[in-house]
Structure 1
Amino acid sequence: MKLGHLADEGYKDWKNISRCLSLHETSKDHIDCMTSWIELERRLRKKKTIDENIQVAINKERGHWKQVLKRIIAVVQRIAKNNLPLRGDNEKLYVENNGIFLQLIEMIAEFDPIMEEHLRHVQERSIHYTYLGPKIQNELIQMLAAEVRSLIVAKINHAKYFTVILDCTPDASHEEQMFFVIRCVDDSENAIAIEEFWIGFLKVNETSGLGLFTELKNILNNLELDIDNIRGQGYDNGSNMKGKHKGVQSRLLEINPRAFYTPCGCHSLNLTLCDMVKCCPKAMSFFGVIQCIYLLFSSSTKRWKIFKDHVQGLTVKPLSQTRWESHVDSVKPIKDQTSKIRDALIDLANISDDSKIKSEAEGLTSFELENFEFMFGMVIWYKLLYEINIVSKFLQAENMDIDIVIRQLKGLISSVQEFTESGFDQALIEAEHIASEMGIEPIFREKRIIRRKRQFDEINSEDVTQSPKESF
């Protein structure tokens, strides 16, 4: 039996195998096979095989698609970085309102030959996959988000200990969503700094303490973050979050007693201001007038033009519904430009054909802007909101330091105490100055005293009467 048939038929002459192997190594068949193998190895190393042309075409096609995807990813990345929508009313190339994504692709094609060639194939329908549709856009956004999230998680794992911050708000589709923020020490750069990383929005169906805590545990498990490494938790003052027995903070403390809970300082300050205003009818009336002035001018382009003709400085602004300390931005334009805004209201009342608008403008002029009590309250509220807004900005700073905040709060308390002692007279002087510039008499208007009917067994004593100034 020939040794060449060993693989097919086997070999059994083991006594003569050495001689047969020597004969086989010098045979023509073995030399031809070894020559072919060495030649193939050399061609494979130099990529000179029989399918060289096919491989060149494949590599060229691969390189082309790689360059196309690099440009598409860059476009998606820039649009997402600026929080802009990708798609428009149409998803076809070179049509109106086809969205920012396709518009940028078309612009790149004007200067880039690779993208120009790609769009030419798309227009000619010579390729089936274009990588320009909404599906690939969403996939690229998800891939980019996953990459960013993985880098954030790596930093958090490197820091080991972290703080969780949660808050809920309804979105435009009236569904409850909870944003998830993690705060940790980032020492990856040269300077060590405290960083806050927004992880994402979590859709929640159950807003109770148990439901929100379950969502928190699920996202931590998905990110492979250990709940035992939490060293802080910060929420607002809602009962489902700060609840002593069934809130999120208490449920987390049951698992991890070292997760110290700190309520949101800005939210606490905001609630304090809300309670201050609700317990004072004059304050509620004052801010109602501020909002009415804004709505009266902003509800019509013609009325807004009248306002701009008289007021060239700061424009009136609406009252914020969530951040009370920002009311200072609504009070400041009226305080600094009271006479000009009064002139705009008078002009509006004179030229308006709408009886309702005319009545509102005259009422705001006569009973509010020309009322010394309104001016006095405006001065007081501006001073108060200005000081509180400074403290609120410190509380919202990323590099907030507890010592600085304590100093700011102490300064705010001392300012309030100083104002209660001597601020009334100072504000009165400032209000009188504004009134004199507007030609308004700086007096507090007399109001009719409503006397309660006495019962027959009540002591007939004289009521203690206060002057309008003392009452204010």
Structure 2
Amino acid sequence: MTTWYELRQRMNSFQTIDKTTQRLIEQERDHWKGVLKRIIAIVKFLAKHNLAFCGSVEKLDEDNNGNFLGLIDMLNEFDPCVQEHVRRITDDNLQDKYLGPKIQNELILLLASRIKNQIIEKIKQAKYFSVILDFTPDISHQEQMSLIIRYVNVSSNFVSIEESFLGFLNVNDTTEQGLFDVLQDELKNLDLDILDVQGQGYDNGSNMKGKHQGVQKRFLDINPRAFYNPCSCHSLNLTLCDMANSCGKAKDFFGVVQRIYTIFANSTKRWKILKDNLKGLTPKSLSSTRWESHIESVKAIRAAMSDFIEALLEVLEKDLDPKIRSEAKSLATHELGDFEFIVSIIIWFDILSAINLVSKLLTVR
């Protein structure tokens, strides 16, 4: 036992026969620790600021090589550790360079797991929490459910209400039971007790809010204290949709607004004509899901109606397509010059301004 202890002491003080080899091993270990610390720092910086990692080129000291390699190039100008690492790469003495997408993704996942665990610890300290769900398809049209947990943060000196995003959940079954099963399984994976849920927040879709078979009802069957609170902004949008659809004049008005946007947006040449005549605001397409955003569509026409008429008349004069010419003439001489349309755009602008203000307040709260 004494012999092993003495050997360790001699190795630490480099007094063994192979002291040179031991010193080189220590230096190499310190070098790689330094390299990894710098790479992790870069990954944390880019992730924190929501910046892309890769560029169109994956080589050091090249244009358009992305933010990650760009920061490596910057550190290479003055940091000895990075300079040595880049020298080895340049001399082709390394098999593992630790600068590619694979190590980047691995570090991102490790950091994400660490952050997620810290958030879960905060939630457990608070004990009670609410779940907020939203749905959106990804680029491959796979339906995804975003999970947000709302809780009281008691881990710091100041108690505060926080909402933490915990990830996207792939959804293959969009029925009430399928969605509830995905949520229930994820809470189990996160080691969060479903009986500690004190609130539910979803949109107003029938599969979510249904009082007989919806997700909120299935949740209440297990935990009667998990009260359901519908999304205020979505409720406002549904109210506006029903209101507008019940009024023929409103449907006609917004139909004209969309036609004005479409005739210019469907052609780069016609859009240039509009830009040449219009100074300032440009028209926006109407959104069927965010009714408060209609104000952006109405505002542009209200502020520069005469410029829109001039642009439509120029399209009528220069465009060779008979259908486009007919549409431009109809909009310029009938719809935009109609007294009822002028009154409608003034009234709707005032209404939508108030609605937009309320919607933003609901979003903040």
Q: TM-score, normalised by structure 1?
A: 0.72
Tell whether 2:228 aligns with 1:279: no
Which of 188, 213, 229 is residue 155 of structure 2 equivalent to? Answer: 188
Aligned to 1:318: 285
Q: Tell me how far 1:367 sits from its aligned partner.
A: 1.5
Q: Tell me how far 1:88 sits from its aligned partner.
A: 4.3
Aligned to 1:198: 165
* Closer/same/farther in 2, CA of residues 255 and 79 from structure 1, 3 Å limit: same
Which of 333, 357, 361 is residue 300 of structure 2 equivalent to? Answer: 333
Aligned to 1:241: 208
Give the 3-state SS of the residue equivalent to 2:168 in structure 1: strand
Tell whether 2:338 aligns with 1:365: no
Aligned to 1:69: 36
Deviates more, 1:336-345 or 1:293-302: 293-302
Cα-to-partner distance string for 1:258-305 (whole Å, 9 max, x where unaligned): 111111111111111111222222222211221222232333343333
Aligned to 1:156: 123
Q: Which amino acid aligns with 1:206?
A: D
Supply the distance in 1 between the matched residues of 2:330 and 2:87 (Cα, whole angstroms): 67
* 1:27-42 → structure 2 map (5 Å cutoff): none
Q: Which amino acid aligns with 1:71?
A: R
Aligned to 2:75: 108
Aligned to 2:309: 342
Aligned to 1:79: 46
Supply the distance in 2 between the matched residues of 1:189 and 1:341 (Cα, whole angstroms): 56
Q: Tell me how far 1:70 sits from its aligned partner.
A: 2.0
Q: Which amino acid aligns with 1:201?
A: F
Aligned to 1:352: 319
Cα-to-partner distance string for 1:433-472 (whole Å, 9 max, x where unaligned): xxxxxxxxxxxxxxxxxxxxxxxxxxxxxxxxxxxxxxxx
* Closer/same/farther in 2, CA of residues 72 and 241 from structure 1, 3 Å limit: same
Aligned to 1:175: 142
Give the 3-state SS of the residue equivalent to 2:287 in structure 1: coil
Tell whether 2:98 aligns with 1:131: yes
- The percentage of counterpart residues that share the same residue type is 55
Q: Which runs of 5+ in 2 are unaligned?
A: none
RMSD (Å) for aligned C-alpha atoms: 2.4
* Closer/same/farther in 2, CA of residues 74 and 361 from structure 1, 3 Å limit: farther
Supply the distance in 2 between the matched residues of 1:350 and 1:114 (Cα, whole angstroms): 67
* Closer/same/farther in 2, CA of residues 216 and 261 from structure 1, 3 Å limit: same
Q: Tell me how far 1:68 sits from its aligned partner.
A: 1.4
Q: Tell me how far 1:45 sits from its aligned partner.
A: 6.4
Tell whether 2:345 aligns with 1:378: yes
Aligned to 1:260: 227
Cα-to-partner distance string for 1:11-33 (whole Å, 9 max, x where unaligned): xxxxxxxxxxxxxxxxxxxxxx9
Q: Tell me how far 1:90 sits from its aligned partner.
A: 5.0
Q: How many residues align?
A: 365
Give the 3-state SS of the residue equivalent to 1:302 in structure 2: helix
Are the equivalent residues in 1 in contact too, given 2:11–2:19 (CA < 8 A)? no
Give the 3-state SS of the residue equivalent to 1:364 in structure 2: helix
Which of 255, 258, 273 is residue 306 of structure 1 equivalent to? Answer: 273
Give the 3-state SS of the residue equivalent to 1:263 in structure 2: coil
Q: Which runs of 5+ in 1 are unaligned?
A: 1-32, 401-472
Q: Which amino acid aligns with 2:120?
A: V
* Closer/same/farther in 2, CA of residues 56 and 179 from structure 1, 3 Å limit: same
| Higher RCO (C-alpha under 8 Å, 6+ residues apart) | 2
Q: Which amino acid aligns with 1:337?
A: A
Q: Tell me how far 1:199 sits from its aligned partner.
A: 0.7
Cα-to-partner distance string for 1:350-381 (whole Å, 9 max, x where unaligned): 23344333322221111211011111111121
Aligned to 2:175: 208
Cα-to-partner distance string for 1:120-140 (whole Å, 9 max, x where unaligned): 322332111111222211111
Q: TM-score, normalised by structure 2?
A: 0.91
Q: Which amino acid aligns with 1:214?
A: D
Give the 3-state SS of the residue equivalent to 2:173 in structure 1: coil
Cα-to-partner distance string for 1:126-165 (whole Å, 9 max, x where unaligned): 1111112222111111011111111211211121111000
Q: Tell me how far 1:178 sits from its aligned partner.
A: 0.4
Q: Which amino acid aligns with 1:317?
A: K
* Closer/same/farther in 2, CA of residues 120 and 308 from structure 1, 3 Å limit: same
* Closer/same/farther in 2, CA of residues 61 and 378 from structure 1, 3 Å limit: same
Cα-to-partner distance string for 1:333-357 (whole Å, 9 max, x where unaligned): 1112212222222233223344333
